[in-house]
Structure 1
Amino acid sequence: MASSNFVDYVKIYARSGNGGPGSSHFRREKFVEFGGPDGGDGGRGGHVILRGNNQYWTLIHLKYQRHQMAENGEGGSGAKSHGRNGKDIVLDVPLGTVAKDAETGETVAEVTEDKQEVILVRGGRGGLGNWHFRTATNQAPRYSQPGEPMQEGWFILELKVLADVGLVGFPNAGKSTLLSVVSAAKPKIADYAFTTLEPNLGIVEVRDGHSFVMADIPGIIEGAHEGKGIGTRFLRHIERNSVLLFMIPADTKDIVEEYRILLNELKQYNPEMLDKRRLLAITKSDMLDEELTDALTHEIEAAPELHGIPRQFISSVTGLHIRELKDMLWETLTKD
C-alpha cells in the first residue's frame, strides 16, 4: 500500500548559528602612529524559524529534512565593520502546527496564522568589538567579546487541523458521506471501519455567501484515548475545532450510550474538550418512519447528557434536513 501524503507528526533536529566574535583591531593609517581601537561587532547567528503558510496542509516536506542547521555569524573586522549575520532557516508549516521539546514534551511554539513567524531556536548574539570598551583610562583595550553559542535540540512538530466544525463519531457513522455532500471534498468512502485514515477538510457554503470549514476526523472507537484502534493519532485534530458535531447512525442499538462513549473518549484524552459547543446529528434517518423518529426523539430528550444539545435527523443519501443542519451549525458558530 502506498504511504499517505498526509504527515501530521515529524521529529526534527534544529540548531541555530553561533554568534560571530567581535574584533580586537586598532586603526592603522599612514602618519597616525597611535590609532585607537576600531574593532567591529560580530554578526548574529542564524535563527531557525517556523512560518505559518496557509497553502500547506501537511508536514511531509519536513519528513525527509529532519536536520536543520543555520549559519554562524561572521566575525567583526577593522574600521568598525560589523560581521555578516548568519542566514536564517525558515520552515514553512501548515496552520495549526505545534512545536514541542522532544525531551520534556513542553510546548515551545504554536503557529496558527498565515505568515506568522516563531523562532524555534535563536541564533547566538555577535560579540562586541574592542571599540566598545575604550575608556578615559583604557584607550587601547585589547579585548573583545566572543559570540554567544548556538542553541540546539530535538523538537516534535505536530499538526492539529484548524477547522470550524469537527465531525465526531465511530467508524461508518456517515462522516465522510456528509462531508462529500455539503462540500466539494472527495473523501474515500466505503462500507468498512477506518475507511478514513487521515483528516479531510471541506468548505461548507451556507446562506448569504457565508461559509465555514468542516473536518472529517477518522473514526473513534472505545478506548481510543489509550491508543486502541487508530489511537490518539487523530484525537488531537479535534482540539482546534470550534464546534463538535457528534454523528450517530439511526440504526445504532443505543444512541444515548454511544454518545456517552464518544464524549468519554474526548474527556479522557483532554477534559477541555467538554467546553466546546456540541451538536448531534442522527444519520441514516431516511430508514426511519414517523413513529420511530418520535420514539428516538423521546429517548434523546430524556437523557440528561443530551439536555440542551441541538440535534437534527439527517440523511446524506436523500438530503433529508441537510440544509437545516448547515443552518444550525452556522447559527452555533456565530453565536456569542
Structure 2
Amino acid sequence: MFVDSVKINIKAGDGGAGAVSFRREKFVIQGGPDGGDGGNGGDIIFIADKNTSTLAGFRGNKNYFASNGASGEGKNKSGKKGADLQVKVPPGTQIINDSTGEILCDLTLDGQSVRLLKGGKGGLGNARFKNATNQRPTYAQKGISGTQMQVSLELKMIADVALVGFSNAGKSSLISTITNSRPKVANYEFSTLIPNLGVVDISLLESFVVADIPGLIAGASDGKGLGLQFLRHIERTKILLFMLDISREGNSSSRTQSSRELDSRFVDERLSSISLLESSQPTNLAHDTRIATHKIDSIESKSQDSKDSNSIESNLHAQFNVLMNEIKKYSPALADKPYAIAITKSDLDSKNIESFGSFALKDTLKTADTPIFISDELKEFMEFGKRIESKTPLFIIPISSISHTNLNALKSLLNESLKALDSKND
C-alpha cells in the first residue's frame, strides 16, 4: 500500500537519575560522596533512505521513543547514555510539527539526516554537591525528561518532470513506455490510484525522473476525484508536462466565438448561392444550378473542416484550462512552474485528427528559446499555444505511446529543457 502522509508520536529519551552514594572503605567510618551522574537520554534522528519508498511502515507503529539514560552508580560511575533512535524515511519526506504546522526539516537527499529531538540531560550525582559546608550531601538530581511531540510525515516525491492530465489521458502508458516503471494501464478512468516514478535514460551519464499522479478532474480542488491529494508530489518538480487527449470528446457548448462567426459567414455565403438560383433566367438555370450546387458543396465542406478543427482546438484548450485552474487553486506557486504540452493519442485514426495531417518527428512545435522545425500541419497548435492565458509553454508536441510517435523527441526536449532550467538557476 502506498502511504504518503502519517502522524506519529516521537519522544527523546529521559536523562538518568544521579546516584546518592558514599565511599566505603575499610577503617573509613564516614566516606565522602561518590554518586555518579545519570546518563543522557537517547536522541531522535531521522534519516532519508533510498531503500524506503513509502511511509506504510509507520501505520502499524505510531510511537517512536528513544531509550532513557541509565542512572548513575557509586564509585563515581556515570550512567550509560540512552541509545539514539534512528527513524528511516523515504527521500522527499517533510517532518512537520503537528501543533504549530512548522516544517521542522525536509529530507531530500539519500543519507541526509537530522537530529530532531535531543535526549534529556542526566541528573548530577551527590558527589557534585559536596562543598565546604556540606561534606556529605544526601541528595542528587533527577534526570531531565526528553522532549516529546506529535509530528506529521509528508512524502513529496522528488522528480524532474510531472505528468498532469485527466484520467485515461495516457499518462501511465507514457511512463511505462519511456521508463522502467510499470504502473497499471487500463482503458478506464482512475486506473492509476497511486503516484509512480520512473527514470528516463538519455545516455549512460544523463537521465531524469518522471512522476505520474492519478488523473485530475474538474472540481478536484473541492475534493472530487483522486488527484488533488497527490499534488504534493509534483511540488518539487521542475517541469509540468500537461497531457491533453486529442481524442477526448468535448462539450458542444464549448465552441469558440470564432467558430460561431465562421458558421455565420458560411451561412451568408450559402444563402447568396441560393439567391443566385432564384434570380437565374430559365435559359441559364441548368448552368447556374451546377455552379451554385458546387459552391454550396464547397462551402459546406469548408464549414465542416473548420468545425472539426475548431472543435479539436476548443477541446484541447478546455482541457488545459481545467487542469491549470485546479492546480492554481491548490498552489499558485505550483501553477507558475515551467510547463510543456503533449498532445496524446495522436495515432488514432479519426476524421478529426486527420484534419491536422500526419504527425511525425518534424511536427514538433518549440516555442521556447531553442526553435526546431515547425510543420504546416501544426500552425493551429502554434496559435493554440499563443492563446493560452498562462505564460508560453516550453514546447507543444503530439505523441503516441502505442506507436511511439515522437517519444524520442519528447525525451530529448524534456532533457534539454531541464538542462536549460538548471543553467538558468545556476
TM-score (structure 1 length as normaliser): 0.90
SS of the counterpart of 2:339? strand
**Pairing 1:172-321 to 2, within 5 Å after superposition:** 172-207=168-203, 209-230=205-226, 232-252=228-248, 253=250, 254-287=315-348, 288=353, 289-290=356-357, 293-321=378-406
1:10 to 2, 6, 9: 6
CA contact (8 A) 1:19 1:126 kept: yes
| RMSD, aligned α-carbons | 2.2
Identical-pair percentage: 44
**Kept in 1: contact 2:16–2:72 (CA 8 A):** yes
Higher RCO (CA 8 Å, separation ≥ 6 residues): 1
> CA 1:113–1:140 in structure 2 vs 1: closer, same or farther (change >3 Å)?
farther
Decide which of 410, 420, 426 is 1:325's aligned counterpart.
Answer: 410
Change (3 A) 1:325 1:231: closer
**Structure-2 residue corresponding to 1:128:** 124
Note the 1:149-164 alignment, pairs <5 A. Answer: 149-164=145-160
Partner SS state of residue 240, structure 1: coil
The worse-fitting range, judged by mean Cα deviation, of 111-120 and 313-322 is: 111-120
Further displaced range: 303-312 or 85-94? 303-312
Aligned equivalents of 1:32, 1:334: Cα separation in 2: 79
Aligned equivalents of 2:377, 2:167: Cα separation in 1: 23
User: Could you say what secondary structure the match of 1:176 adopts?
Assistant: helix
SS of match in other structure, 1:305: coil
**How far off its partner does 1:307 sit?**
2.0
CA distance in 2, matches of 1:125, 1:211: 48
Displacement of 1:37: 3.2
Q: 1:306 to 1:317 in 2, by over 3 A?
A: farther
CA distance 1:231–1:200, change in 2 (3 Å): closer
User: Which residue is equivalent to 1:92?
Assistant: 88
Q: Structure 1 pair 247/218, CA: closer, same or farther in 2 (3 Å)?
A: same
Cα distance per residue 1:185-240 (max 9 Å; x no partner): 11111121111000111111114541111111111112222221115320111112
1:303 and 1:270, CA in 2 relative to 1: closer, same or farther beyond 3 A? Answer: closer
Q: What CA distance in whole angstroms lies between the structure 1 residues aligned with 2:336 and 2:419?
A: 16
- Aligned partners of 2:240 and 2:337 also within 8 Å: yes
Cα distance in 1, alignment partners of residues 135 and 416 from structure 2: 73
Q: Is the 8 A contact 2:163 2:211 kept in 1?
A: yes
* Distance (whole Å) between structure 1 residues aligned to residue 384 and residue 418 of structure 2: 27
**Letter in structure 1 aligned against 2:62:** R
Give SS of 2:347's match. helix
1:138 deviates by: 4.8
What is the alpha-carbon distance in structure 1 between the residues aligned to residue 145 and residue 68 of structure 2? 9
Segment drifting more, 261-270 vs 302-311? 302-311
Deviation at 1:67, TM superposition (A): 2.3
Question: What's the TM-score, normalizing by structure 2?
Answer: 0.72
Deviation for aligned residue 1:136: 5.1
Quick check: 2:65–2:85 contact (8 Å CA) kept in 1? yes
- Indicate if the aligned counterparts of 1:166 and 1:238 stay in contact, CA closer than 8 A: yes
Tell me, in whole angstroms, the C-alpha distance in 1 between the residues paired with 2:114 and 2:320: 39
Gaps of 5+ in 1: none
Distance 1:323 1:306 in 2: 25
Higher mean C-alpha displacement, 319-328 vs 29-38: 29-38
SS of the counterpart of 1:315?
Answer: coil
| Bigger-Rg structure (1/2) | 2
Q: For the structure 1 residues 191 and 139, does the alpha-carbon distance in structure 2 shift closer, same or farther, using more than 3 Å as the test?
A: same
SS in 1 for 2:197: strand
Partner of 1:81: 77
- Report the secondary structure of 2:6's partner residue: strand
What count of residue pairs does the alignment treat as equivalent? 332
What is the CA–CA distance in structure 1 between the aligned matches of 2:31 and 2:325, rounded to whole Å? 77
Partners of 2:324 and 2:157 in 1: CA distance: 20
